[in-house]
Chains A and B, each alone.
Chain A
Amino acid sequence: MNLSLTVRDTRHALVLTALSLVLVITVLVSLTVGAVTIPVGDVIIILLQKIGLFSQLQVDSMHEVVLTTIRFPRVVMTLLVGGALGVSGAALQGLFRNPLVEPGLIGVSGGSAAAVVLMIVFGSGFFLSTDNLLYDAIIPIVSFGGGALATFMVLGLGKQSGKTNIAVLVLTGVAINALAGSVIGLSVFYADENQLRTFTFWTLGDLGGATPGKLLITAPLLLGSMAALLVQSRSLNAIALGEAEAYHMGVNVERTKRIIVLSSALAVGVSVSLAGIIGFIGLVIPHLIRVVFHADQRLVLPASVLGGAWLLIIADVIARTIVAPAELPIGVMTGLIGAPFFIMLLMKAKLKNEI
């Protein structure tokens, strides 16, 4: 008996180590793929040189430029966005005690998108150029604000005598998303050609816009919100039994709720501002982790960070190689992988009378 739980803890560590290894390998491979193929050896040497090792070895200088200025920021952003979406989905599913919840369903992404589009179309007058650092810094904040506002509206309206009613919540989410859609439509109506194009590609998701400057601002926000969510994994385990039960067991439920909603809104809002709406990662990954391993949130949350990052890297590699030298929007790829999976989940839940 004493052994069985130690084994379980070690198994958590093992699963997470294995996932990390797979992720590292996938990242290395993804760095080699693209318009220019860079050998894995060169990738490793360049990376090591960045931290001051093997500086005497010579590599193709074009490879180095491509890697450091284009692929490396892109991969880091992909990792952060994928991880943020994965863990937000896992935490929100845990909080709402429903495996079908995803950030999109409760309005985070819709709210973020609406706020960002308003910003792109009507806000450009406030800034002399859309390429300056201030603009880069404001977009994530606006995006977070929109996401948080939408989430709190959905959460507030979905409450019934102090408890979250999932059916009302999902319907409210639909309504808020419709509202966000109208705001977006209205903005598109007033947008000029250039803004329209920017916006259309942005909604489909675009990981190509990563710059070190953008990362410098957004990485701390994403890492911070991910960390805040990860800390809640024990409380989420208790909340799985119900909010009242969690409270009986000593969880400060209202505080946990606030932290999770705010951190998810921050994580998703910033992700949306960086890469547009990338659907299904937050839904598919936590579910996959639960099916393959088990439901302990202390595993599901960190594994969703790794899994989300992994899936987005894979989707990104496919998106930028399948029609090379052009690029498929990333949202198309995750949708192609995610939609059939979501339908499968719905069918399964239907069979089990869980809906």
Chain B
Amino acid sequence: MYQAIDLSFRVRDRIILQNVNLTIRPGEFTAVVGPNGAGKSTLLKSLAYENTNFRGQVIINGTSTSSYTPKSLSRVRAVLPQSTTVPFAFTAEQIVHLGRYTHRSTHIVNRAIVQEVMERTSTFSLKDQAYSTLSGGEKQRVQLARVLAQVWEETVHPRYILLDEPTSSMDIAQQQQMFALAKSVCSRNIGVMAIVHDLNQAVQFADQLYFLRDGKITAAGEAKDVFTKTNIEETFCCRVNVYHDPCNNCPYVITERTDTVPASIHHLKLKTSSL
């Protein structure tokens, strides 16, 4: 299990995270949703132990992250950032190979794993292309392949992947593919945690769903149970309706149309026009 226990983080006086408790179980897809600025990325960075200045604890497989070395940590968790730029001309395959950085396995094993994850992410045909020439969606899939390569081997302990809005530069077909893939790797004793922007996709794929607002968990539980009108409205401050989609046997959300521009935006417009 991958647990955040009583996680709090503040920058000077600003509270970014407040007493967050979160559990990622191997074999499950855990999604975190919330409005912009809710602290989702900070939560992910704290879980990844990239941000270390938090109060509280992050525990992976029974051991606190503070007791891990960068190397031993990389064997149990991999992270997919929102976007990655590479200043030098690496090929897609070289990028995926980097996922095997700390693994002292043989070339043959590494190559087999790289090929397998590239095939799974449908990036194998891109392997000799320069990374910088790929489209946004292709880059993201290559990065996912790298992340998978890092935790692909079956080990005695469960492994985890943390995805920060993995579908931000993808069309809807690619988004579905990405989430289906993330979900399918759960069967390899991998726990998946993803920050998801699209609520409907979150509820379609997630086993556990966390709502985050102003650094606090506002609701959490089995995805289909907590996906309610009240939870969504309270988290996002937006009028919505939740319906049931019989085709997916899954709830979905639609925003209620409003014709009144919120006061704050009016205010902003006035300010800029007076400049």
Contact = CB atoms under 8 A, between A and B. Distances in A.
Interface of A: 1-2, 5-6, 9, 94, 97-99, 234, 237-238, 240-242, 244-245, 247-253, 290, 294-296, 354
28 contacts: A1-B111, A2-B111, A5-B111, A9-B107, A94-B88, A98-B87, A237-B94, A237-B98, A240-B98, A241-B84, A241-B95, A242-B81, A245-B81, A249-B74, A249-B78, A249-B98, A249-B99, A249-B101, A249-B102, A250-B74, A250-B102, A251-B70, A252-B71, A253-B70, A290-B88, A294-B91, A296-B94, A354-B87
Interface in B64-119: 69-71, 73-75, 77-79, 81, 84-91, 94-95, 98-99, 101-102, 107-108, 111-112, 115
Interface in B36-80: 45, 48, 50, 69-71, 73-75, 77-79
Contacts of B91: 294
Contact of B101 (A1, A238, A294): A238
A240 B87 CA distance: 7
Interface of B: 45, 48, 50, 69-71, 73-75, 77-79, 81, 84-91, 94-95, 98-99, 101-102, 107-108, 111-112, 115, 150
B89 A250 contact: no
Contact of B70 (A2, A242, A250): A250
A29 B237 CA distance: 77
A290 B89 contact: yes
A340 to B, nearest CB: 22
By secondary structure, the B interface counts as mixed
Given A2-B111, A238-B98, A250 B87 contact: no
Contacts of A242: 81, 84-85
Nearest to B48: A248
A250 B48 contact: no
A312 B111 CA distance: 39
A248 to B, nearest CB: 4
A252 B88 contact: no
A292 B79 CA distance: 33
B89 A97 contact: no
Contacts of A354: 87
B70 A99 contact: no
A295 B89 contact: yes
Contact of A250 (B71, B86, B111): B71
A24 to B, nearest CB: 29
Given A241-B86, A248-B74, A250-B75, A6 B98 contact: no
Given A2-B111, A5-B111, A6-B107, A251 B101 contact: yes
Contacts of B77: 248
